[in-house]
Amino acid sequence: MAWELLAIWAIVATTVLWFVRDEKRLREERLMARARHFAVAPAYRHQPSAAARLARLG
pLDDT digits (tens, 9 = 90+) for 31-53: 999 999 998 888 888 777 877 77
Q: Which CA distances in Å does 17 have to 24, 25, 42, 53? A: 11, 12, 40, 56
pLDDT at 55 over 70: yes
Distance CA 35, CA 32 (A): 5
Structure letter (DSSP) for residue 42: G
Spatial separation of the C-alpha atoms in residues 41 and 3, rounded to whole Å: 56
